[in-house]
Amino acid sequence: MTRVVILAGGVGGAKFTLGVRAALARRGEPEATVVVNTGDDLWLSGVRLQPDIDSVLYALAGQNDTVRGWGRAGDTERVNTELQAWGAGWPWFTLGDLDLGTHLARTGWLRDGLTVTEVVERLAARWPTGVRMLPMTDAEVDTHVQLADGRRMHFQEWWTRHRAALAPVAFENPGIDRATPAPGVLEAIAAADVVLLAPSNPVVSIGPILAVPGVRDAVRAARRVLGVSGIIGGAVVRGMADVCLAAIGVDTRADAVAAHYGARSTGRLLDAWVMAEEDAALAPAVASLGIRPVVAPLWMTDVAASAAIADAALDAAARDR
CB of 55 to Ca ion, least distance (A): 7
Q: Decide if residue 52 touches ligand GDP (CB under 6 A).
A: yes
d(CA 281, CA 190): 34
Give residues in contact with Ca ion (CB under 5 A): 9-10, 40, 52
23 touches, from ligand GDP, Ca ion, none (C-beta below 5 to 8 Å by class): none
The residue among 197, 248, 211 whose CA lies nearest residue 38 is 211
10 near ligand GDP (CB under 6 A): yes
Q: How far is the CB of 240 from ligand GDP (least distance, A)?
A: 8
**114 or 166: CB nearest ligand GDP:** 166
| Residue least distant from ligand GDP (Cβ) | 12
Cβ at position 242, least distance to ligand GDP in Å: 8
- For residues 84 and 160, which CB has a smaller minimum distance to ligand GDP in the complex? 160
If contact means CB under 5 to 8 A according to the sort of partner, which of Ca ion, ligand GDP, none does residue 257 touch?
none
CB of 319 to Ca ion, least distance (A): 32
Q: Which is nearer to Ca ion, 42 or 275 (CB)?
A: 42
Contact flags string 210-229 toward ligand GDP, x per CB under 6 A = -------------------x
Q: How far is the CB of 241 from ligand GDP (least distance, A)?
A: 3
208 near ligand GDP (CB under 6 A): no
Q: How far apart are CA 275 and CA 293, in angstroms?
A: 7
Q: Which of 122, 126, 152, 238 binds ligand GDP (CB under 6 A)?
A: 238
Q: Which of residues 279-298 bind ligand GDP (CB under 6 A)?
A: 298
Amino acid code (one letter) for 161: R
Q: Give, as ranges, the residues between 246 and 275 that touch ligand GDP (CB under 6 A).
A: none
* Dihedral Cα 5, 17, 80, 141, nearest 10 deg: 20
Task: Assess 94 for contact with ligand GDP (CB under 6 A).
Answer: no
Residues 6+ apart with CB under 8 A from 260: 202, 245, 248, 250
By CB under 6 A, residue 96 contacts ligand GDP: no
Please tell me the distance from the alpha carbon of residue 127 to that of residue 135, in angstroms, as a whole number.
Answer: 17
The site for ligand GDP (CB under 6 A) is made up of 8-13, 52, 55, 198-201, 205, 229-230, 232, 236-239, 241, 298-300
